[in-house]
Amino acid sequence: MPQSYRLQGKGRLTPAKGLRFSFDGKHYSGLQGDTLASALLANGVHLVGRSFKYHRPRGFLSAGAEEPNALVTVQRDAARKTPNVRATVQELYDGLDAHSQNRWPSLSFDVGAVNDLAGSMFSAGFYYKTFMWPKSAWKNVYEPKIRAAAGLGVSPDQPDPDHYSARFAHCEVLVIGGGAAGIAAARAAAESGLRVILADEQAELGGALRFESGASIDGMDGWSWAQEAARSLAGMPNVRVLTRTTAFGYYAQNFVGLVERVSDHLASPGGALPRERLWQVRAKRVVLATGAIERHLVFAENDRPGIMLASAARAYLNHNGVAVGRNVGIYTAGDSGYAAAIDLKKAGAGVAAIVDLRDNPTGALVDEARSLGIEINHGRAVVRTAGKLRVSSMTIRPKNGGAERTIAVDALLMSAGWTPSVHLFSQSRGRLAFDAESRRFLPSDYAQDCVAVGACNGTETLEATVAEASKAGEQAAKAAGGKTAKAVAPKVDASESWAGGMVGSGPGAGPDDTVKAFVDFQNDVTAKDIRLAVREGMRSIEHVKRFTTNGMATDQGKTSNMHGLAIAADALGKEIPQVGLTTFRPPYTPVTFGAIIGHARGPLFDPTRRTAIHPWAEANGAVFEDVGQWKRAWYFPRQGEDMHAAVNRECETVRKAAGLFDASTLGKIEVVGPDAAKFMELMYTNPWEKLEAGRCRYGIMLREDGFIYDDGVVGRLAADRFHVTTTTGGAARVMNMMEDYLQTEFPHLNVWLTSISEQWAVIAVQGPKSREIIEPLVEGIDMSDGAMPHMSVREGKICGVPTRLFRMSFTGDRGFEVNVPADYGQAVWEALWAEGRKHGACAYGTEAMHVLRAEKGYIIVGQDTDGTVTPSDAGLDWAIGKKKTDFVGIRGLTRPDLVAKGRKQLVGLKTKDPNVVLEEGAQIVADPRQPVPMTMIGHVTSSYWSQNCGRSIALALVAGGQGRMGETLYVPMPDRTIEVEVTGMVFFDEAGGRLHG
């Protein structure tokens, strides 16, 4: 029976444009323009899912984004499996392959449905109460089992092969929602010529006009008017119409997040198109035309497949040409149910009966239904339904009790009225007010430059909606600076009304009834659960929500929140506004991680920074390590060498001959101006005024609290110019801190800071042969010890290009750092390498650099310090200018706890067994025989095997360390306790003669 529920001549799809698709392995046909939902309904398929907790059979509740039940997995290939797709919004494409979720072994026979029989066990708060003991079982048994049983779809297990993109966009007027209101507002705003963006989640503009058969505008039926308007808007150069685009988040200052589904509706998206595109829009004015969502009625067994919203059935009928049943019952609290009954009856589908909660309904729709011969049962309620995998009957009775009557149906439509979609308004921090008469929350006080129009603002007729929206669009453009002619509002010839309805539970689902009357379909929350939450002491709606999980599913309670609130208010004996409303948070509908990530994946996940010398290191076999965003050469293994062998060789070679090291990643700041020295005096602990041009000094920078923030060698190039180096990791934050102090604390100083980290490539040449290697390549610099002693800087040329040549050492041997403009870095390195090879030099990496500096007790900020170490703790008192009266941190250094005895201080550690290398981070104790937990007096900060010392060496922070020289301490490890001796921090060349030649 191919598409046997598709009615000839009904709907707007073209019968010739057929598509094939499959659901749970079974093949079906549908039409271009169908959603997966409408196509399944055309084939008479209502059963599409199992509920979250009770595994009850479920069908389509809606025809839109609010769908709580019809979640399916759409699979394009092994890697493209998207779980939890709402079948009501997934557009059909040829070959679409969809699968139901949360059922085993099959959708029609699901073992998990035993939960439904044991329903009394699974009441609200069940998880909190039941799975408490024993504690370990939560992690190992309960949580994994519950997660598996109470499931949504399964996450894809392969990397997402699709790509996603992002755009920032700006406009004067952003209109959200492309129904009658949004179109009217966009047209009016667009008259001004200003930039207008109109975003709508559907494939085509029209909103409720999709199903409203009773609307007529400007002499056209509503839908045709919308399509005509969409065409004219799209043709305007100042207007961008984004369909399939959901505004999911409304952030500060009219910043709105939109996600555009670019290719999920295509059979073959192709490689060029992104799957989704994130739009981050900054709008001067926002017009919210987000419409309203119909509510279901809360009665016993209101969740069987075939029971759905009246407006959904109308959308399937009037747009897709699909009858949701052949003998349809209607249960309504207002006029909306009548409109559905009339549409179905006129289309030739059988209507069993209308059941109306109102005692004495009147009006044109009631009259029309009656004249069409539809049975109307007013003052009555549906109190029960039957049907295993699809509704087969409804049982009705007078709403205040009385004789029951069962009517056979194959579908049951419900309408409790309409809830304005105030999600985005609420996200904008606007305040909602409860309208007691219509029993709904409406926008009241605006927090941003936006305005709500139409159904989301509680406006009930089409005439009023388009008038209000036109005016709002015009005013938004004017407020955004547009000089618009007076917009002409569309003329509404015929209209439907959205008024009326009820909130809360219906007859037969009251406090004394023990029935499953569902409030929240996706989380299986019943009216009874909400009353239980109140009985158990929940008073705030926020607590009721969390206890019952009402509104906490992926649909975020679009259909359930108002009912839940009304039932809780009733149980508490309070008015709805006294109980409050839960907070609306982004996203409005689920957003994929892909859309959020956009371009930021693979090589664009985070910038990878490489130095100018990187290609040489790569070509010469370097193993790299990540240092922040930088790739740094870690060590250069030769054939057959492991890391230790390579590092040992590199360390030995540097001290015997020389080594070349790429230090380009060091932060560098040029400090220039007549007050440069004054500024340096304030930022560093050291004295600078008297440092001569051409000389260098090791500087320490503190935070205001007196702890070490950064360090580095600073060269004075001229009276008014310093070349400051920072740690690699500190480059950006040191620059920021300096700039911060300069602008806020020292604005009187005439000095400017410029980052030159990337202007200069830095080649460290260290070791006894370093001068011989550099000298032949240099012009204009006398490198003799007399002319260029340790800690000096010269400007001149190397290999014909400018250099700032520093004589300085981070190894304790004679050393230089050759700074050259970055583009020359590799060429100069290659020239130095050629010279170096003549002297037996090697290239060394960051690991050997670490070992060599540790042999000399040179600290690394961030490794040997951790933000709680003062210069005194690190043995660097000498670096504090004793005569200085001010520098950042000077007052911090005098704090009582910073001068107290027993502070942790940096010391050297030698293991009693020289072959044992301590673990960095290992804790240190004074007495290994004390009971656990032991008193820990410090920890190891740096530890290496030192080939040059022929033993292991370590630095450690130890309480009162500088007073413990020669003491034996202990490092307890899981398998043994290591004995260590406290020593000074210098392990190699204690006299320091090698620095000078």
Q: Measured in whole angstroms, how far is the alpha carbon of residue 227 from the centre of its chain?
A: 35
Query: CB 754 → other proteins: shortest distance, Å?
Result: 4
Q: Kindly state whether residue 758 participates in binding other proteins, applying the rule CB under 8 A.
A: yes
Site string for other proteins, 762-781 (x = CB under 8 A): --------------xxxx--
CA distances from 313 to 69, 324, 337, 411, 564 (A): 15, 6, 10, 10, 24
For other proteins (CB under 8 A), the number of binding residues is 60
Q: Kindly state whether residue 2 participates in binding other proteins, applying the rule CB under 8 A.
A: no
* Interstrand relation of 623-627 and 630-635 (parallel, antiparallel or unpaired): antiparallel
Q: Kindly state whether residue 113 participates in binding other proteins, applying the rule CB under 8 A.
A: no
Q: Which residue lies nearer to other proteins by CB, 28 or 722?
A: 722
Tell which positions 272-311 bind other proteins, by CB under 8 A.
Answer: 272-274, 277, 280, 282
Options 672, 735, 808, 969; binder of other proteins; rule CB under 8 A: 672
Rounded to the nearest 5 percent, the helix, strand and coil shares of the chain are: 25, 30, 45
Q: Which residue lies nearer to other proteins by CB, 84 or 243?
A: 243
Region of 115-123, 593-601, 683-691, 935-943 interacting with other proteins (CB under 8 A): 593-601
CB atoms closer than 10 angstroms to residue 77: 9
Say if residues 510 and 225 touch (Cβ distance below 8 Å).
Answer: no
Distance between CA atoms of 327 and 350, rounded to whole angstroms?
A: 4
Site string for other proteins, 237-276 (x = CB under 8 A): -----------------------------------xxx--
- Helix H, strand E, coil C: the string for 735-804 is HHHHHHHHHHCCCCCCCEEEECCCCEEEEEEECCCHHHHHHHHEECCCCCCCCCCCCEEEEEEECCEEEE
Options 442, 623, 756, 917; binder of other proteins; rule CB under 8 A: 756
Q: Which residue lies nearer to other proteins by CB, 370 or 678?
A: 678
Q: Kindly state whether residue 167 participates in binding other proteins, applying the rule CB under 8 A.
A: yes
Q: Which two structure tokens, joined as six digits, stand for 936?
A: 């820990």
Q: Which residue lies nearer to other proteins by CB, 760 or 945?
A: 760
Q: Cα dihedral sign for 131, 132, 134, 140?
A: positive
Of 262, 270, 277, the residue nearest 203 (C-alpha): 262
Options 81, 195, 285, 319; binder of other proteins; rule CB under 8 A: 195
Q: Kindly state whether residue 532 participates in binding other proteins, applying the rule CB under 8 A.
A: no
SS3 of 420, please?
A: strand
Site string for other proteins, 814-843 (x = CB under 8 A): ------xxxxxxxxx--x------------
Distance between CA atoms of 590 and 246, rounded to whole angstroms?
A: 10
Q: Which residue lies nearer to other proteins by CB, 279 or 988?
A: 279
Distance between CA atoms of 190 and 236, rounded to whole angstroms?
A: 8
* Interstrand relation of 81-86 and 71-75 (parallel, antiparallel or unpaired): antiparallel
Q: Which residue lies nearer to other proteins by CB, 349 or 820?
A: 820
Distance between CA atoms of 529 and 518, rounded to whole angstroms?
A: 9
Say if residues 987 and 943 touch (Cβ distance below 8 Å).
Answer: no
**Burial degree of 24 (CB within 10 A; 0-12, 13-18, 19+):** middle
Region of 220-228, 330-338, 748-756, 939-947 interacting with other proteins (CB under 8 A): 748-756
Q: Which residue lies nearer to other proteins by CB, 703 or 797?
A: 797
Q: Which residue lies nearer to other proteins by CB, 346 or 610?
A: 610
Q: Cα dihedral sign for 569, 573, 575, 578?
A: negative
Phi, psi of 741 (to 5 degrees): -65, -40
Q: Kindly state whether residue 479 participates in binding other proteins, applying the rule CB under 8 A.
A: no
Residue-wise DSSP of 707-745:
-EEEEEEEEEEETTEEEEEE-TTTHHHHHHHHHHHHHHT
Query: CB 252 → other proteins: shortest distance, Å?
Result: 13
Q: Kindly state whether residue 597 participates in binding other proteins, applying the rule CB under 8 A.
A: no
Tell which positions 18-37 bind other proteins, by CB under 8 A.
Answer: none
Q: Which residue lies nearer to other proteins by CB, 292 or 660?
A: 660
Q: Which residue lies nearer to other proteins by CB, 370 or 610?
A: 610
Of 163, 183, 150, the residue nearest 55 (C-alpha): 150
Site string for other proteins, 778-817 (x = CB under 8 A): xx-----------------xxxxx----------------
Distance between CA atoms of 716 and 699, rounded to whole angstroms?
A: 12
Q: Kindly state whether residue 170 participates in binding other proteins, applying the rule CB under 8 A.
A: yes
Q: Which residue lies nearer to other proteins by CB, 273 or 499?
A: 273
Region of 135-143, 600-608, 810-818, 904-912 interacting with other proteins (CB under 8 A): 600-608
User: How does 455-487 read in b/e, with b if 16+ C-beta sit within 10 Å?
Assistant: bbbbbbebbbbbbbbbbbbbbbbeebebebeeb
CB atoms closer than 10 angstroms to residue 776: 11
Q: Which residue lies nearer to other proteins by CB, 236 or 756?
A: 756
Q: Kindly state whether residue 608 participates in binding other proteins, applying the rule CB under 8 A.
A: yes
Options 373, 573, 607, 933; binder of other proteins; rule CB under 8 A: 607
Tell which positions 618-637 bind other proteins, by CB under 8 A.
Answer: 630
Query: CB 898 → other proteins: shortest distance, Å?
Result: 36
Region of 160-168, 535-543, 863-871, 944-952 interacting with other proteins (CB under 8 A): 160-168
**CA distance between the termini of the chain:** 96
SS3 of 246, please?
A: strand
Q: Which residue lies nearer to other proteins by CB, 131 or 746?
A: 746
Q: Torsion angle, CA of 541/547/553/559, rounded to 10 degrees?
A: -40
Q: Kindly state whether residue 872 participates in binding other proteins, applying the rule CB under 8 A.
A: no
Q: Which residue lies nearer to other proteins by CB, 424 or 751?
A: 751
Options 32, 759, 863, 962; binder of other proteins; rule CB under 8 A: 759
Q: Kindly state whether residue 754 participates in binding other proteins, applying the rule CB under 8 A.
A: yes
Q: Which residue lies nearer to other proteins by CB, 429 or 599?
A: 599
Say if residues 293 and 421 touch (Cβ distance below 8 Å).
Answer: yes
Query: CB 718 → other proteins: shortest distance, Å?
Result: 12
Residue-wise DSSP of 622-677:
PEEEEETTEEEEEE-PPTT--HHHHHHHHHHHHHHS-EEEE-TTSEEEEEESTTHH
Helix axes 643-656, 846-855, angle to 10 degrees: 60
Query: CB 280 → other proteins: shortest distance, Å?
Result: 7
Say if residues 698 and 790 touch (Cβ distance below 8 Å).
Answer: no
Q: Which amino acid is at 912?
A: K
Q: Which residue lies nearer to other proteins by CB, 631 or 853?
A: 631
Q: Kindly state whether residue 673 participates in binding other proteins, applying the rule CB under 8 A.
A: yes
Query: CB 170 → other proteins: shortest distance, Å?
Result: 4
Region of 1-9, 49-57, 164-172, 368-376 interacting with other proteins (CB under 8 A): 164-172
Region of 35-43, 607-615, 916-924, 987-995 interacting with other proteins (CB under 8 A): 607-615
With tokens 């043994």, the residue in question is 976
Q: Which residue lies nearer to other proteins by CB, 457 or 611?
A: 611
Query: CB 835 → other proteins: shortest distance, Å?
Result: 8
Q: Kindly state whether residue 670 participates in binding other proteins, applying the rule CB under 8 A.
A: yes
Q: Torsion angle, CA of 954/957/962/964, rounded to 10 degrees?
A: -80
Q: Kindly state whether residue 599 participates in binding other proteins, applying the rule CB under 8 A.
A: yes
Distance between CA atoms of 129 and 901, rounded to whole angstroms?
A: 53
Interface residue list for other proteins (CB under 8 A) = 163, 165-170, 195, 272-274, 277, 280, 282, 598-600, 603-604, 606-612, 630, 670, 672-674, 750-752, 754-760, 776-779, 797-801, 820-828, 831
